[in-house]
């Protein structure tokens, strides 16, 4: 184990290509950066270069996170090749982890068997029951995708693949926290992620599927109240886990609450490197794995400048009692234009509402955990 900070690769092997057309998908529009006709697919050459390049870094864990668009469009041979290359270039004693974020509609027995054999963690995008999920997660023909998603989840469970649920909280489902929580548990998920849908028009207005700060606060409080009587120690919610890690151990569990936006590198299908999938933009490009080393990119001035932009500058943030916890939230939530000085998070009031509601109980839980580990209280 080294003292180096973690660095996860968010790999887009099919670029922004996807078999669905979810109304709120922010990554579909990234396809405009690569307008060449035909499907966008990562070549073996790019895959080998990024794998060799990444495994040369001295890191505590090498995390390959396969995302999209829809990464399952690549098919089984691609992921077999990915594992073969990790075996080829991996060094003795190094820890490697693979995860896949998918809409689940293209999964089959062969893919699930491979994921089970090599211990992939599979994140399933599901927004709740069909009447909620299908409002925005639709096929190109306008049909809902919920039944196909459930079929994919059943295949994963049958092969005993480690799975979690990733729920995008949008205007379609933000008012049903208890219903969504119960539904996910009924479908055998015990690790849950809730992501706020915050998208703006070019004029700076929220998109119709975005949520407000008060809606986000109400939703998180509703989830917390459903989770608290039965969840601690049994049901893992990534946001709550991250807060516990901060309170008990001083760790930054998720980039939203981090002090620096340098936890990830995005690798596009052609090898282009960006600092974050919310900021896959021409002026944010850091290089390409075919021509530059990830070590140079990781320690270069462009990536360092991007990371520093996480530092909140809005006066409400600097005066907020919760600044040490949220660190001004994700920069993508601050403004559609990027990082103008003095701009606070769109979700600020919702975060404060949730912290007011849940923090006393989370602090109590953190103290118990520290006592169990023989650590002094914070």
Tell me phi and psi for residue 236, to 5 degrees: -100, 125
The C-alpha atoms of residue 289 and residue 63 are separated, in whole angstroms, by 16
Q: SS in 3 state form for the chain? A: CCCCCCEEEEECCCCCCCCCCCCCCCCHHHHHHCCCCCCCCCCHHHHHHHHHHHHCCCCCCEEEEECCCCHHHHCHHHHHHHHHHHHHHCCCCCCEEEEEEECCCCCCHHHHHHHHHCCCEEEEECCCCHHHHCCCCECCCCCECHHHHHHHHHHHHHCCCEEEEEEEECCCCCCCHHHHHHHHHHCCCCEEEEEECCCECCCCCECCCCCCHHHHHHHHHHHHHHHCCCCCCCCEEHHHHHHHHHHHHCCCCCHHHCCCCCCEEEECCCCEEECCHHHCCHHHCCEECCCCCHHHHHCCHHHHHHHHCCCCCCHHHHCCCCHHHHCCCCHHHCCCCCCCCCCCCCCHHHHHHHHHHHHHHHHHHHHHHHHHCCCCCC
CB 70 within 8 A of CB 102: yes
The C-alpha atoms of residue 216 and residue 211 are separated, in whole angstroms, by 7
CB 179 within 8 A of CB 134: no
Residue 277 annotated among the catalytic residues of the structure? yes
* Active-site choice (182, 277, 296, 356): 277
Q: Which residues are designated catalytic?
A: 277
């Amino acid at each position: 184990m080294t003292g180096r900070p973690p660095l996860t690769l968010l790999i887009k092997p099919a670029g922004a290509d996807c078999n669905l057309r979810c109304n709120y998908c922010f990554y579909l529009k990234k396809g405009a950066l690569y307008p060449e006709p035909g499907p966008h697919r990562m070549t073996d050459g790019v895959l080998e270069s990024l794998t060799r390049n990444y495994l040369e870094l001295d890191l505590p864990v090498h995390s390959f996170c396969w995302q999209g668009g829809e990464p399952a469009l690549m098919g089984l041979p691609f992921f077999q090749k990915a594992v073969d290359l990790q075996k080829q270039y991996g060094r003795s004693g190094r820890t490697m982890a693979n995860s896949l974020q998918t809409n689940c509609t293209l999964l089959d027995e062969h893919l699930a068997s491979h994921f089970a054999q090599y211990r992939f963690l599979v994140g399933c995008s599901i927004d709740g029951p069909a009447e909620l999920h299908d409002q925005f997660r639709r096929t190109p023909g306008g049909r809902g995708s919920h039944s196909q998603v459930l079929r994919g989840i059943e295949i994963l469970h049958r092969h005993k693949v480690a799975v979690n649920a990733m729920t995008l909280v949008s205007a379609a489902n933000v008012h049903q926290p208890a219903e969504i929580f119960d539904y996910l548990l009924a479908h055998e998920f015990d690790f849950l992620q809730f992501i706020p849908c915050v998208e703006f028009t070019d004029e700076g207005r929220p998109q119709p599927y975005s949520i407000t700060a008060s809606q986000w606060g109400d939703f998180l409080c509703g989830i917390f109240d459903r989770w608290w009587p039965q969840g601690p120690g049994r049901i893992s919610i990534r946001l709550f886990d991250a807060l516990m890690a901060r309170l008990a151990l001083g760790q930054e569990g998720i980039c939203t609450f981090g002090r620096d936006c340098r936890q990830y590198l995005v690798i596009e299908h052609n090898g282009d490197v960006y600092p974050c999938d919310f900021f896959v933009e021409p002026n944010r490009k850091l290089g390409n794995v075919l021509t530059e080393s990830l070590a140079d990119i990781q320690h270069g001035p462009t990536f360092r400048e991007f990371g520093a932009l996480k530092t909140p500058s809005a006066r409400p943030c600097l005066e907020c009692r919760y600044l040490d916890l949220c660190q001004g939230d994700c920069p993508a939530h601050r403004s559609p234009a990027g990082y103008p000085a003095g701009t606070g998070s769109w979700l600020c009031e919702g975060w404060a509402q949730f912290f007011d509601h849940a923090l006393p109980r989370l602090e109590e839980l953190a103290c118990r955990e520290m006592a169990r580990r023989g650590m002094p209280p914070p």
